[in-house]
A and B are shown apart, each in its own frame.
Chain A
């Protein structure tokens, strides 16, 4: 046996037969479809999983194989670790891609996947556990001199102690789910008498979304920006950042419009934050794709918030500006390949914006909407990308996050990207469920967005002016068209009825005549 202990060449020595060949995607909707796309481009087979509610879903049709894993309720399907792992083993997969949400940041799932002999496409279970708990990651970052927002975790504390800690930090207070992300289990409390009921509610929401009710409280920084850095770290100690994403336009602490580059960063600041983001991952022995989130205040201070140990919803804007397929990169890292670039090779090119198309009523406090997609028209054109989880006739159910698709545009500069996005949104016809499309057009049209004045309070501040955008202007047009449509539909039904009747019975008495006679008639 030759001596093969030479880590730099490990992958070459292993050869292609050890690379991932078949992936189970432990997710649904647009991100499952997105992962399938990269897998197909890499020649990797894909297995989708689905619940009762998703048996006709797009991700099921897009995958090479699909595996039924249970009832519609997420707890009984997409969140059931044993069922997911069983599906991966039964279907002969060698790896599991967790996507985002569901089990993606569950270190126990990560560990179980690995223990069952499968590759988990993500960071090690240890670094995920460390980063997954916002409390332990905070402690680690404080130890390494990384700036954090003042706060504390409150589990196993009596109500009175919690109230005292909150007063010490000072109101307003932010309650966050330790296991969470995406605004689930998050509450802002402005006065002490609302504290305990908000904590109770945050715990319930966290339990149902993430299977854990651990929450913590911190100082709520008013009117900050949310700026995050994309990190890629391999299993050989190499680490780079792929620049920032500004995700300040949020409703209920959940991002809806993201862009890169951020208008708030100078090159110096970008470099400084990028280096801090890399250090965050270094000290946690982080070894796959991840996102380091920062709060950025008006004075240019930035505070470490958390690491998202998974692919982010908004990853496409980084792909558009760097030209790198991040899902492929995740799989390459999981295959133990070294990063194919160094920091100096990476450049941001142009400007990208993403709008998340949610099934929700932008004019009515973003109340989720369910129903059947009766019509879908997907925007297209140069620099326009649509990462979709739906098609015509798809059912949008009440069981899962209401994301339908993501619209991403890329252009030379910010203003061109903004204009391109508005046009693309206007052509993204979705009928049958309510969407946030018009609301996002309204956001993009504001002077504040145009000038880059994007803060996390943007929607709260401008909501009354943004909702019902162009409603009065377009209502008569819609009413007239509805009237015409009903008329046309009824008319075409009458024509249709004629066509079903028997022409031989309706043509009356005819005579057969010669060609010449017929012409003369």
Chain B
């Protein structure tokens, strides 16, 4: 199966007790001790690994370290993995929150790193920055508005000359 972590994709195959991860062999013996709880034994050490999932993600915990994976199908892979590496010009809130201040308007020229919006969540402000150089073509946020992560709050387009 294909698991995505931090914008990297990993192809994992169970090869009879050993695992093939992106074509590299990884030896571990896994046994389920209770629902979502695994004992993992490698040649050096044994670990307790904990797993749960919701509709969207797989969550893992091992010795304090958390991993959040998304399961992908081959279809997901063929579409735009490249887009993740480069800015898209669509600025989304990283988490649900409320808009504190809109710092740009349609027609403004921005560079990578220009602050475009301030949002607040859990009583903390974060600034969102332009991820490409271009011109603001849409601002879909007003101050005090509650926003989720789906909507592109600011859209920036590359100017062709």
Contact = CB atoms under 8 A, between A and B. Distances in A.
Interface residues of A, number: 53
Interface string A336-377: 000000000000000000000000000000011111101101
Given A479-B10, A482-B12, 18 more contacts: A201-B118, A205-B125, A208-B123, A375-B52, A399-B122, A430-B61, A431-B59, A432-B54, A470-B63, A474-B63, A476-B21, A478-B67, A479-B3, A479-B5, A481-B30, A481-B38, A482-B60, A487-B14
A480 B26 contact: yes
Interface stretch (A2-10, A156-164, A310-318, A433-441): A433-441
Contacts of A426: 63-64
10 smallest CB-CB distances across A and B, nearest first, come from A374-B52, A431-B59, A368-B122, A431-B52, A485-B51, A478-B67, A480-B19, A483-B12, A481-B49, A438-B64
Given A479-B3, A479-B10, A484-B38, A429 B50 contact: yes
A469 B36 CA distance: 23
Contacts of B26: 476-477, 479-480
Contact of B50 (A431, A438, A487): A431
A368 B67 CA distance: 16
A401 B36 contact: no
Nearest to A476: B26
A437 B66 CA distance: 9
Contacts of B118: 201
A482 B63 CA distance: 15
Interface residues of B, number: 51
B123 A184 contact: yes
Contact of A428 (B30, B54, B64): B64
Contacts of A377: 50
B74 to A, nearest CB: 16
Interface stretch (B79-87, B93-101, B106-114, B131-139): B93-101
B54 A372 contact: yes
Contact of B47 (A184, A402, A477): A477
Interface string A487-508: 1110000000000000000000
Interface of B: 1, 3, 5, 10, 12-14, 19, 21, 26, 28, 30, 32, 36, 38, 40, 42, 47, 49-54, 58-69, 71, 94-97, 100-101, 118, 120-126
B99 to A, nearest CB: 12
Given A368-B121, A398-B96, A485-B58, A480 B64 contact: no
Given A431-B52, A469-B65, A480 B30 contact: yes
B66 A435 contact: yes
Given A208-B120, A374-B54, A474 B12 contact: no
A367 B52 contact: no
Q: Interface centre among B64, B69, B120, by most A CB within 10 Å?
A: B64
